[in-house]
């Protein structure tokens, strides 16, 4: 049985930053891209993950499988941070502008749609943060229940059940408000 010297063992692990990126960069990038759907955002977040790795000096002392696990955990945390930041950014719905450009003949219809959108927005704001986050990930980022579950460490079944209950709650509250005469 041939024994390896400590020097040979340390060479097995990516010890310098370039080797770490070469070895795990494509894996981390693909994982991020799967969740963000934007190549530029995925590249930026990949850089953030490896910047965090640069700050972690003990990372090079870990075996490869532990390095990858550490990088995946940092990736998960950075994705969650990104979703939280996006939640507070206001997005402009281009469909509203398209309606006003092409639907000059029915301004009352546009006003009614905007009022309806505002009512729904207010109802969503009344939901607990986790329910808001589930809706945001599903409908703003078009993530599947499985993808949302992976991000939030929840089962796909739980995510589907929660989304179903949230939609039912919103629908019931919306129609209750409509029957009362709006807000």
Q: How far apart are CA 65 and CA 9, in angstroms?
A: 14
Residue 175 pLDDT exceeds 80: yes
Q: What is the mean pLDDT of residues 153-174?
A: 91
7-50 pLDDT, tens per residue? 444 444 545 677 888 899 999 998 898 888 788 889 999 999 99
pLDDT value for 6: 42
Q: Where in the chain is the domain with CATH 1.10.10.10?
A: 101-180
Residue 94 pLDDT exceeds 70: no
48 and 1 Cβ atoms separated by less than 8 Å: no
- Structurally, at CATH architecture level, domain 7-88 sits in Orthogonal Bundle (1.10)
Q: What percent of the chain has pLDDT over 70?
A: 79
Please tell us whether the domain made up of 101-180 is placed in CATH 1.10.10.10. yes
65-91 pLDDT, tens per residue? 999 999 999 999 999 888 877 766 555
Q: Where in the chain is the domain with CATH 1.10.1740?
A: 7-88
Q: How far apart are CA 149 and CA 153, in angstroms?
A: 5
* Alpha-helical segments (H) within the chain: 6-12, 17-36, 39-55, 64-88, 94-102, 107-125, 129-135, 145-152, 156-180
pTM of this structure = 0.45
53 and 71 Cβ atoms separated by less than 8 Å: yes
């Amino acid at each position: 049985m041939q024994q390896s010297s400590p020097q040979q063992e340390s060479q097995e692990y990516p010890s310098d930053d370039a080797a770490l990126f070469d070895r795990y960069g494509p894996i981390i990038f693909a994982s991020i891209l799967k969740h963000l759907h934007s190549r530029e955002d995925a590249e930026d977040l990949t850089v953030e993950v490896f910047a965090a790795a640069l700050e972690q000096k003990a990372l090079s002392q870990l075996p490869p499988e532990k390095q990858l696990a550490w990088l995946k955990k940092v990736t998960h945390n950075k994705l969650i941070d990104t979703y939280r930041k996006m939640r507070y950014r206001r997005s402009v719905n281009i469909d509203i502008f398209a309606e006003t450009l092409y639907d000059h003949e029915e301004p009352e219809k546009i006003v009614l749609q905007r009022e309806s959108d505002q009512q729904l927005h207010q109802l969503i704001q009344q939901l607990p943060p986790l329910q808001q986050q589930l809706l945001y990930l599903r409908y703003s980022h078009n993530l599947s229940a499985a993808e949302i579950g992976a991000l939030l460490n929840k089962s796909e079944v739980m995510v589907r059940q929660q989304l179903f209950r949230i939609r039912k709650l919103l629908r019931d509250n919306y129609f209750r408000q409509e029957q009362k005469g709006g807000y």
